[in-house]
A and B are shown apart, each in its own frame.
Chain A
Amino acid sequence: MSDTERNWHSHRDAKAARLANAASLLDGKFAKTKDAKAVLETLLSSGDKVVLEGDNQKQASFLSQTLASVDPAKIHDLHMIMSSVSRPEHLDIFEDGIASKLDFSFAGPQSTRISQMIADGTLKIGDIHTYLELYARLYIDLIPNVVLVAADKVDHEGNLYTGANTEETPVIVESAAFHDGIVIVQANEIVDKVPRVDIPGDWVDVVIPADEPYQLEPLFTRDPQNITELQILMGMMAIRGIYERHNVQSVNHGVGFNTAAIELLLPTYGDQLGLKGKIVPNWEVNPTPTLIPAIESGWIKSIHSFGGEVGMEQYIAARPDIFFVGPDGTMRSNRAFGQMAGQYALDMFVGSTLQIDQYGNSSTVTKGRLSGFGGAPNMGSNPTGRRHSTPAWQSLKPKDDPLGRGQKLVVQMVETFGSNKRPVFVDHLDAEEVQKEAKLANVPIMIYSEDTTHIVTEEGIAYLYKTDSMAERQAAIEAIAGVTPVGMRSTEKELADLRRRGIVALPEDLGVRRTDAKRSLLAAQNMEDLVTWSHGLYNPPAKFRSWS
């Protein structure tokens, strides 16, 4: 076949044909709620690559329920691409044969069931990704045929307002809209004019008003009441031994209680140390309410967010100097840009994990639970493509290498034993077993040893970046691993040597008094305190309103 005979727009023709088939169900771009199932059965084809929007917080729940209701005789063996597998129907579609293959990033809430379904052969995993990686593949080898996304408001032209929880809608829609994929949107509300245009209407093919607003969870809200003194002690050590010592200016915090403790210690303990104005003005982080005291007391200058957080809307709208807020006055988030910023522009990532092995590799994948990792590996890795320098990055530069360069600080904060009293430090990660069970190409490690620069436990800090060999790295980990089987290998003599060489620091080496680790040191003791700090602008979701 010569070039002149070849059809160079076959994708566009196929899309036009599908939309033509659905013409009777559409009024312009708009379909009726009751026709949603028929719309999907008409526009989808068996074997399609389909992106279903499901972030951590925001779920295209109307479309996912509708997808689970289609006739598997008509639509089957879809290849689903989903950053987050959160809702039961996300997996029901595999049991019913509507879908057969899954590429994903995070499956926390469904991690046990997904493990079982892989073992049973009900579901075939393409791969586990970081968020950024999964978005990247939408433009290379996972170009979607159809994308199913959620919007707050849609105007009559099909312009979308995605509001505070814009999250991953733009990156998904763009991959389809510019490669002849079909963009289907569920809308909370159809309006005459959207507050701002987050997605232009000419990128959108079909809008379906949803029967109820999309699911949105306050997933990252941590009640200060549940922060323990052990977490406070670790937070104090981290502030002195890492934030201050490395002059850290920009940071991403994971979403556990350890980092919530640090956020609430900055305005108190950090202030006592005279660090205000000297450390962490710039953040890439979800807008969690435990940040409010540090913002109000002038510690934090800017925050870019991956997504929104329920209850924070009014507070954020009133602080446009700090957050990324549109001309309409509400926050804009963009998960892809957030992950990019978190990977390339930060001095430091501080997170937590469920297991760390004797070499310093960590994973949240544990026996029978294939949780995936979301964005942690983007933030929690040293981007070797980085070229700009900052004091913190430069402080990790090896001394003896003329071509040496800095490194991102990647900090894991864990208690030596989990709340279930199982050791966090183990010789071998459960993930090694899970790899075999789930037939994965690689062991699902969240953060590799080579990227991990510091580990903080209640025992002390291991400065892993200072170690010269794997044996020394193991000794440093053992020294702070408490009475776990890994920690029991450490001797007093080894510990003394590591302390002398500055590879391990105990609280007393950092000038941290254990008796100062009291809950009264937190800038807010409970949710009510956070509301007070916010001048009444923070509106906690019902499940966090235990005091009233």
Chain B
Amino acid sequence: MEKLHFTFKATQPITHPVHIGVVASGDLEVIMRPTTGDSELDIVTGSDGFHDVWQHVLERFFDRYPIQAKFEINDFGATPGVVNLRLTQAMEALKDAQ
């Protein structure tokens, strides 16, 4: 198990908290809460040694969706594809809520 922390510059505030996904084999849960300032991400992952892959997935995500939020991510061996699916699903859920 590994704990990762990332910070990204963000410009778009969110108004609602969002919770997507589950902590199940090959899956993860993503919780986003409104915040001010930079986006802080706390990740607990069951797969060690994937810091750079997380970095790439998150850079891509914040390039497209620079949202201001406090992220809590609990990962149980999700592939980068599943991580990106959950993050983008959260964006759809936010859009629906607004």
Contact = CB atoms under 8 A, between A and B. Distances in A.
Contacts of B92: 513-515
A337 interface: no
B80 A228 contact: no
Interface string B74-98: 0000011110110011001100100
B81 A415 contact: yes
B50 interface: yes
B80 A417 contact: yes
**Main SS of chain B's interface residues?**
helix
A7 interface: no
Contacts of A228: 26, 82
B81 A421 contact: no
A317 B97 CA distance: 51
Given A492-B63, A492-B64, A416 B80 contact: yes
B7 interface: no
B15 interface: no
A354 interface: no
A415 B79 contact: yes
A510 interface: no
Nearest to B54: A483
Given A415-B79, A458-B81, A514-B88, A483 B64 contact: no
A233 B82 CA distance: 11
A230 B82 contact: yes
A417 B78 CA distance: 10
A233 B85 CA distance: 9
Given A417-B80, A483-B80, A488-B56, A230 B85 contact: yes
A229 interface: yes
B60 interface: yes
A419 B88 contact: no
A230 B93 CA distance: 17
B47 interface: yes
Contacts of A121: none
Contacts of B60: 483
Chain B interface extent, by class: 20 to 34
A459 B60 CA distance: 12
Contacts of A233: 85
Interface string B44-62: 0001001001001100100
B81 A230 contact: yes
B47 A457 contact: no
A515 B93 contact: yes
Nearest to A483: B56
Contacts of B82: 228-230
Given A421-B50, A515-B89, A515-B92, A457 B81 contact: yes
Nearest to A495: B64
Nearest to A422: B79
A482 B64 CA distance: 13
A418 interface: yes
Contacts of A292: none
Contacts of A316: none
Interface in A474-490: 482-483, 488
A421 B48 CA distance: 11
A514 B85 contact: yes
B64 to A, nearest CB: 7
B50 A417 contact: no
Contacts of A513: 92
Contacts of A143: none
Contacts of A325: none
A492 B92 CA distance: 20
A517 B84 CA distance: 13
Contacts of B84: 458-459, 482-483
Most-contacted residue by chain B among A228, A415, A417, A483 (CB, 10 A) = A483
Most-contacted residue by chain A among B47, B50, B63, B79 (CB, 10 A) = B79
Interface of B: 26, 47, 50, 53, 56-57, 60, 63-64, 79-82, 84-85, 88-89, 92-93, 96
Q: Which 6 A-B pairs have the closest CB atoms?
A: A483-B56, A458-B81, A417-B79, A415-B81, A515-B92, A514-B89
7 contacts: A229-B85, A415-B79, A416-B81, A417-B80, A419-B26, A419-B79, A458-B81
